[in-house]
């Protein structure tokens, strides 16, 4: 070692001698402190354990949320479908044809002419008339016309009353005859 | 110690040899891995990625809800309901087919025999049992079936399009086929109504979504509602009055148009015969369109309103203009008759309208210069489609100016030799009601774009003055004489309490077979009320009545009923004016 230094020194220019002398480094003696090991180990274990348990809990809660959301989504779509179906029922109840039918069933007739009361002046215009049901609106189509084969013209046979029969027998006989013809 | 052990080399061979053998073996294994790597990554990378992704990954369509078609008050003419189809696997259902068919027939109201056949279909694994069932019902039925121990039923999504009012406005609204719109607004405005379906992809485990799993959601864009100017109740009433009229007259078909005089909004466009939009296949194909828009017909005497108001606007006649009306008018080689036999009579212009005299109208129209009437009729909107958004609308047939002869003008002056569609003609008559200003009709509230890119709706309403206010007022007074019980031809068109202005029409019809007038008639009545401040224009047209009725006796009562209902419904008070007393003779 010293030989090497000597060699360097010999190679060094003389002027750098002092600087080299000054720059020579020595190793700082290591200070060994013995910190307590237990708290650190405990801390790390706690963090690890906490992390693992926390992650587990987090995962579980997410899973729970997922179950809940699936169930709620199912419920929401069921309710939405139900709402739509009810809305459809409502719209069908609101069908003017149904209302008209119900109204006619209750014996209602079309309104007559209204009179108008002007609130500002208190004047009444128009000639009111009661609804008398004479202009009934036919809300259902007429039944389709039967073909001639199924709808033959009425065949009426006039039977001259026989003198010997009494009136009671006569009328029943007549009725029966007519029935036959209508078939 | 060492010498007692046998030398290693002797049993295991030389280390160099072992190394070589080992390396060769490792190289062979690695090259196999390498080949597999090239196969996986180089040759067919996507299929494996897809297979990996498909494992546990669920793809769900998020259907967009179809927009509703609404009337002017927001009542639905067509609405969408979440629906399902019920399907069956015959392999599982065949065993209990009769009981199951009975159960389904009771719950879903479907045909027993065809259901039984499907449930037993040999060799099949998939049969449609019922389609477009509201999903609540479908779910309930499946749940009940499982409870009874019936296997093999399942449901799939199948949206239901419901038309709550059945046949009301069906000819305009149209209907849906199995998967696509087939007619009417459903088809014309499909882009707006249908929206865009979305989709969701996510990983599932045990039926539940994996929280941190791969997932993508494209939200569906729901279709937009289409709001029409139709008034559901008025439309229903108009359709029933029209049906009664057509049935009682023994007619072929008919239509009626109710228009708001000021805005041009169509409150009702009724067609008869019509069909139930929930069951369009039951009706003949000819009834599925809108006759009011798609059929051309000759308007007949209703058109005289346009001829005479043009004459008034030009100052060529006044309501008092005196006309000597001969029993028959010979024009070149063709005679012109009136609908009623008469000797030589003296009618005023008002009388010509009140009595609907062809000869008087032709004589008055002689005062037009060449082409003047054509220009007016174009201004009234004849010969051009109204563009209200109804599919297949006809433009009508107004002969081009270049082919007008003297005879053509004569016939056009009283409404023959030209064809119109119903709404076009209603809008033309409405010009008189709206003080001489033609307002373009509309059927869509706001704005919507048709499938051929044309924007329609009340936002695109145009107005143009066709005749002067003075001419319109004079014309209205003359039309008031038409419903006069003493001098007019259509007293049945009166609305009690109100002054009505109107005009009858009885036109010869062109038959399909011969392409000539075949002896049948188109009878009509157009009018508006209250005459001095019109709110509604109503136009009723009945094709080929077999009871021999004319415009006044067939169209008049229908007009009166519809107008009366509209005035009541919109609470229009009588104006208290008295009908005109213009002289009809001199």
Report the distance separating Cα B477 and Cα B319, nearest Å: 9
**B10 within domain boundaries:** no
- CB of B164 less than 8 A from some CB of A: yes
**B56 within domain boundaries:** no
In chain A, residues with a C-beta closer than 8 Å to the C-beta of B267 are none
What pLDDT is recorded for position B534?
94
Average pLDDT across chain A, whole number:
78
What pLDDT is recorded for position A168?
46
What pLDDT is recorded for position A174?
45
Query: Helix, strand, or coil here: B18?
Result: helix
What pLDDT is recorded for position B60?
78
Query: pLDDT tens across A55-106, in order?
Result: 999 989 988 888 898 889 889 988 888 888 888 888 889 899 999 999 989 9
- CB of B233 less than 8 A from some CB of A: yes
What pLDDT is recorded for position B259?
94
In chain B, residues with a C-beta closer than 8 Å to the C-beta of A100 are 236, 240
Residues B207 and B313 in one domain: no
The reply to whether residue A96 touches residue B166, judged by beta carbons under 8 angstroms, is: no
Give the distance from CA B163 to its chain's centroid. 13
Average pLDDT across chain B, whole number:
87
In chain A the first and final C-alpha atoms are separated, in Å, by 144
Report the distance separating Cα A123 and Cα B574, nearest Å: 12
- CB of A61 less than 8 A from some CB of B: no
Residues B130 and B266 in one domain: no
Give the distance from CA B14 to its chain's centroid. 96
If pLDDT is split at 50, 70 and 90, which confidence band does B443 have?
A: very high
Q: Which residues of B419-436 are buried (b: 16+ CB within 10 A; e: fewer)?
A: bbbbbbbbbbbbbbbbbb
Compute the nearest-CA separation of B564 from chain A (Å). 8
Q: Which of B135, B158, B558, B560 is the best mutation test for A, with the most CBs of A within 10 A?
A: B135
Number of domains in chain B: 2
Residues B236 and B223 in one domain: no
What pLDDT is recorded for position A13?
62
The reply to whether residue A141 touches residue B568, judged by beta carbons under 8 angstroms, is: no
- CB of B101 less than 8 A from some CB of A: no
Query: Helix, strand, or coil here: A136?
Result: coil
Answer left, alpha or beta for residue B420, where phi above 0 means left and psi between -120 and 50 means alpha: beta
Provide mean pLDDT across the span B508-517. Answer: 80
Neighbours of B218 (CB within 10 A): 12
If pLDDT is split at 50, 70 and 90, which confidence band does B374 have?
A: very high
- Please give, one letter per residue, the 3-state secondary structure of B178-212: CCCECCHHHHHCHHHHHCECEEEEEEEECCEECCC
The reply to whether residue A125 touches residue B574, judged by beta carbons under 8 angstroms, is: yes
The reply to whether residue B497 touches residue A127, judged by beta carbons under 8 angstroms, is: yes
Kindly report the pTM of this predicted structure.
0.80
Residues 6+ away with beta carbon under 8 Å from B253 = B246, B271, B272, B273, B291, B542, B543, B544
Query: Helix, strand, or coil here: B259?
Result: strand
pLDDT over 90 at B234, yes or no: yes
Residues 6+ away with beta carbon under 8 Å from A152 = none
What pLDDT is recorded for position A1?
47
If pLDDT is split at 50, 70 and 90, which confidence band does B10 have?
A: low
- CB of B135 less than 8 A from some CB of A: yes
Answer left, alpha or beta for residue B18, where phi above 0 means left and psi between -120 and 50 means alpha: alpha
Query: pLDDT tens across B239-273, in order?
Result: 999 999 999 998 999 999 999 999 999 999 999 88
Report the distance separating Cα B551 and Cα B539, nearest Å: 11
Contact B254, B540 (CB under 8 A): yes
What pLDDT is recorded for position B379?
92
What pLDDT is recorded for position A22?
75
Provide mean pLDDT across the span A26-46. Answer: 85
**What is the ipTM metric for this complex?**
0.77
| Cα–Cα–Cα angle for B60, B62, B65, rounded to 5 degrees | 155
Query: Helix, strand, or coil here: B76?
Result: strand
Residues B223 and B244 in one domain: no
Residue in B488, B509, B501 with CA at minimum distance from that of residue B552: B488
**B285 within domain boundaries:** no
The reply to whether residue B82 touches residue A81, judged by beta carbons under 8 angstroms, is: yes
Q: Which long-range contacts (CB under 8 A, 24 or more apart) does A111-117 make?
A: A111/B568, A113/B496, A113/B497, A113/B564, A113/B568, A114/B568, A114/B571, A116/B571, A116/B573, A116/B574
Report the distance separating Cα B431 and Cα A139, nearest Å: 33
Residues B251 and B195 in one domain: no
- Alpha helix segments (H runs only) across B195-301: 232-248, 291-294
Residues B379 and B456 in one domain: yes
Tracing tokens 């993508």 back to the chain, one arrives at: B216
In chain A, residues with a C-beta closer than 8 Å to the C-beta of B573 are 116, 118, 125-126
Report the distance separating Cα A40 and Cα A59, nearest Å: 28
Tracing tokens 């006796």 back to the chain, one arrives at: B553
- CB of A113 less than 8 A from some CB of B: yes
Provide mean pLDDT across the span B484-505. Answer: 89
What pLDDT is recorded for position A106?
92
pLDDT over 50 at B176, yes or no: yes
If pLDDT is split at 50, 70 and 90, which confidence band does B207 have?
A: low
Radius of gyration of chain B (CA): 37
**B323 within domain boundaries:** yes
Query: pLDDT tens across B283-334, in order?
Result: 888 888 888 888 889 999 999 999 999 999 999 999 998 999 999 888 888 8
- What residue of B is the nearest CA neighbor of A63? B211
If pLDDT is split at 50, 70 and 90, which confidence band does B206 have?
A: low
Give the count of Cβ contacts less than 8 A between chain A and B: 105
DSSP state at residue B554: I
Compute the nearest-CA separation of A178 from chain B (Å). 29
Query: Helix, strand, or coil here: B347?
Result: strand
Query: pLDDT tens across B128-168, in order?
Result: 888 888 888 888 888 898 898 888 888 888 888 889 888 89
pLDDT over 90 at A20, yes or no: no
**B48 within domain boundaries:** no
Provide mean pLDDT across the span B439-461. Answer: 91
Provide mean pLDDT across the span B428-450. Answer: 92
Query: pLDDT tens across B91-118, in order?
Result: 888 888 888 888 888 888 888 998 898 8
Residues B441 and B508 in one domain: yes
Provide mean pLDDT across the span B21-28. Answer: 96
In chain B, residues with a C-beta closer than 8 Å to the C-beta of A65 are 211
Contact B48, B130 (CB under 8 A): no
pLDDT over 80 at B53, yes or no: no
More confident residue, A160 or A182: A160
State how far the alpha carbon of B536 is from the alpha carbons of B429, B456, B458, B499, B560, in Å: 11, 22, 17, 12, 12
Residues B316 and B408 in one domain: yes
The reply to whether residue A85 touches residue B134, judged by beta carbons under 8 angstroms, is: yes
Q: Which of A58, A60, A65, A66 is the best mutation test for B, with the most CBs of B within 10 A?
A: A66
What pLDDT is recorded for position A175?
42
The reply to whether residue A95 touches residue B165, judged by beta carbons under 8 angstroms, is: yes
- CB of A72 less than 8 A from some CB of B: no
Phi, psi of B252 (to 5 degrees): -80, -50
A62, A91, A125 ranked by CB distance to B573: nearest: A125
Neighbours of B563 (CB within 10 A): 27
CATH code, B66: 3.90.1310.10
Residues B198 and B329 in one domain: no
In chain B, residues with a C-beta closer than 8 Å to the C-beta of A135 are 561
Provide mean pLDDT across the span A133-156. Answer: 80
Residues 6+ away with beta carbon under 8 Å from B171 = B184, B269, B270, B271, B274, B275, B287, B288, B289, B290, B291, B292
Provide mean pLDDT across the span B42-65. Answer: 77
A65, A80, A95 ranked by CB distance to B211: nearest: A65
The reply to whether residue B136 touches residue A141, judged by beta carbons under 8 angstroms, is: no
- CB of A75 less than 8 A from some CB of B: no
- CB of A63 less than 8 A from some CB of B: yes
What pLDDT is recorded for position B40?
82
Contact B373, B505 (CB under 8 A): no
Residues B330 and B306 in one domain: yes
Q: Which of B63, B65, B80, B136 is the best mutation test for A, with the most CBs of A within 10 A?
A: B136
**B30 within domain boundaries:** no
Neighbours of B249 (CB within 10 A): 22
Share of chain A above pLDDT 90, in %: 17
**B3 within domain boundaries:** no
Residues B203 and B268 in one domain: no
CATH code, B335: 3.40.710.10
A70, A129, A135 ranked by CB distance to B208: nearest: A70
In chain A, residues with a C-beta closer than 8 Å to the C-beta of B497 are 113, 126-127
What pLDDT is recorded for position B208?
66
Residues B348 and B465 in one domain: yes
| Residues pairing with B58 in the sheet | B202
DSSP per-residue codes, A79-100: HHHHHHHHHHHHHHHT-HHHHH
Provide mean pLDDT across the span A130-147. Answer: 80
In chain A, residues with a C-beta closer than 8 Å to the C-beta of B135 are 81, 84-85
Neighbours of B25 (CB within 10 A): 10
Tracing tokens 């609908």 back to the chain, one arrives at: B339
Compute the nearest-CA separation of A46 from chain B (Å). 26
Look at A2-6, A42-46, B28-32 and tell me which has the smallest mean pLDDT.
Answer: A2-6
What pLDDT is recorded for position A31?
80
**B404 within domain boundaries:** yes
- CB of B81 less than 8 A from some CB of A: yes
- CB of A111 less than 8 A from some CB of B: yes
Compute the nearest-CA separation of A90 from chain B (Å). 9
Tokens read off for B47: 């299929």
Compute the nearest-CA separation of B11 from chain A (Å). 51
Contact B353, B308 (CB under 8 A): yes
pLDDT over 80 at B6, yes or no: no
Q: Which of B167, B240, B271, B566 is the best mutation test for A, with the most CBs of A within 10 A?
A: B240
- CB of A83 less than 8 A from some CB of B: no
In chain B, residues with a C-beta closer than 8 Å to the C-beta of A94 are 75, 164
The reply to whether residue B81 touches residue A82, judged by beta carbons under 8 angstroms, is: no
Query: Helix, strand, or coil here: A71?
Result: helix
Percent helix, strand, coil in chain A, to 5, is 55, 0, 40
- What residue of A is the nearest CA neighbor of B243? A141
Domain span holding position B554: 232-280+290-569
A92, A114, A116 ranked by CB distance to B164: nearest: A92
- CB of A18 less than 8 A from some CB of B: no
Residues in chain A: 183
pLDDT over 70 at A15, yes or no: no
Contact B163, B70 (CB under 8 A): no
The reply to whether residue B209 touches residue A70, judged by beta carbons under 8 angstroms, is: yes
B135, B164, B573 ranked by CB distance to A126: nearest: B573
- CB of B56 less than 8 A from some CB of A: no
Contact B492, B550 (CB under 8 A): no
């Amino acid at each position: 070692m010293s030989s090497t230094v000597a060699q360097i020194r010999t190679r060094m220019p003389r002027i750098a001698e002092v600087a080299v002398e000054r720059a020579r480094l020595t190793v700082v003696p290591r200070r060994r402190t013995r910190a307590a090991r237990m708290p650190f180990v405990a801390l790390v274990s706690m963090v690890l354990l906490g992390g693992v348990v926390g992650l587990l809990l987090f995962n579980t809660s997410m899973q729970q949320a997922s179950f809940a959301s699936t169930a709620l989504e199912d419920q929401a779509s069921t309710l939405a479908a139900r709402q739509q179906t009810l809305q459809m029922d409502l719209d069908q109840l609101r069908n003017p044809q149904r209302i008209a039918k119900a109204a006619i069933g209750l014996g209602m007739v079309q309104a007559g002419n209204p009179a108008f009361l002007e609130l500002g002046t208190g004047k009444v215009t128009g000639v009111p008339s009661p609804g008398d049901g004479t202009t009934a609106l036919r809300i259902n189509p007429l039944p389709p016309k039967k073909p001639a084969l199924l709808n033959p013209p009425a065949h009426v046979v006039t039977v001259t009353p026989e003198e010997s029969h009494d009136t009671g027998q006569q009328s029943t006989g007549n009725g029966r005859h007519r029935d036959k013809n209508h078939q | 110690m060492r010498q007692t052990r046998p030398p290693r080399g002797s049993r295991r061979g030389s280390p160099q040899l072992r190394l070589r053998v080992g390396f060769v073996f490792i190289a062979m294994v690695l090259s196999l891995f390498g080949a597999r790597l090239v196969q996986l990554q180089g040759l067919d990378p996507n299929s494996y990625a897809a297979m990996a992704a498909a494992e546990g990954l669920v793809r769900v369509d998020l259907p967009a809800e179809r927009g509703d078609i609404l009337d002017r008050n927001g009542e639905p003419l067509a609405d969408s309901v979440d629906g399902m189809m019920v399907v069956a696997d015959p392999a599982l259902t065949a065993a209990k087919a009769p009981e199951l068919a009975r159960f389904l027939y009771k719950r879903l109201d479907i045909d027993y025999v065809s259901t039984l056949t499907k449930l037993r279909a040999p060799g099949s694994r998939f049969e449609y049992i019922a389609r477009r069932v509201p999903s609540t019902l479908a779910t309930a039925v499946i749940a009940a079936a499982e409870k009874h121990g019936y296997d093999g039923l399942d449901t799939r999504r199948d949206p239901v399009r419901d038309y709550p009012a059945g046949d009301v406005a069906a000819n305009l609204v149209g209907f849906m086929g199995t998967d696509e719109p087939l007619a009417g607004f459903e088809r014309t405005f499909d882009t707006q109504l249908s929206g865009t379906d979305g989709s969701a992809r996510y990983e599932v485990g045990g039926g539940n979504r994996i929280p941190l799993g791969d997932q993508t959601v494209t939200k569906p864009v729901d279709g937009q509602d289409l709001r029409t100017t139709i008034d559901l109740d008025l439309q229903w009433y108009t359709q029933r009055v029209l049906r009664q009229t057509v049935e009682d007259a023994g007619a072929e078909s008919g239509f009626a148009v109710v228009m708001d005089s000021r805005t041009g909004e169509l409150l009702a466009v009724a067609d008869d015969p019509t069909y139930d939009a929930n069951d369009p296949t039951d009706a003949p194909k000819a009834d599925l369109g809108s006759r009011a828009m798609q059929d051309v017909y000759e308007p007949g005497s209703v058109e005289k309103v346009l001829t005479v108001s043009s004459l008034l606007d030009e100052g060529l006649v006044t309501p008092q203009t005196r006309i000597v009306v001969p029993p028959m008018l010979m024009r070149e080689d063709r005679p012109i008759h009136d609908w009623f036999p008469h000797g030589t009579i003296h009618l005023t212009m008002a009388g010509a309208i009140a009595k609907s005299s062809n000869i008087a109208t032709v004589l008055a129209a002689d005062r037009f210069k060449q082409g003047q009437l054509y220009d007016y009729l174009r201004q009234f909107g004849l010969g051009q489609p109204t563009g209200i958004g109804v599919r297949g609308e006809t433009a009508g047939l107004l002969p081009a100016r270049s082919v007008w002869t003297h005879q053509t003008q004569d016939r056009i002056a009283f409404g023959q030799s030209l064809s119109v569609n119903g709404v076009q003609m209603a809008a033309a008559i409405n010009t008189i009601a709206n003080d001489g200003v033609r307002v373009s009709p509309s059927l869509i509230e706001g704005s919507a774009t048709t499938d051929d890119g044309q924007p329609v709706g009340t936002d695109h309403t145009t107005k143009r003055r066709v005749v002067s206010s003075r001419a319109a007022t004079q014309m209205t007074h003359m039309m008031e004489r038409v419903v006069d019980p003493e001098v007019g031809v259509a007293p049945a068109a009166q609305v009690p309490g109100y002054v009505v202005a109107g005009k009858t029409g009885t036109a010869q019809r062109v038959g399909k077979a011969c392409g000539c007038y075949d002896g049948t008639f188109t009878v009509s009545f157009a009018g508006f009320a209250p005459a001095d401040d019109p709110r509604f224009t109503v136009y009723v047209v009945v094709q080929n009545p077999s009871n021999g009725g004319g415009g006044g006796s067939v169209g008049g009562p229908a007009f009166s009923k519809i107008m009366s209902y509209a005035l009541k419904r919109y609470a229009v008070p009588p104006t208290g004016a008295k009908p005109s007393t213009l002289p009809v003779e001199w």
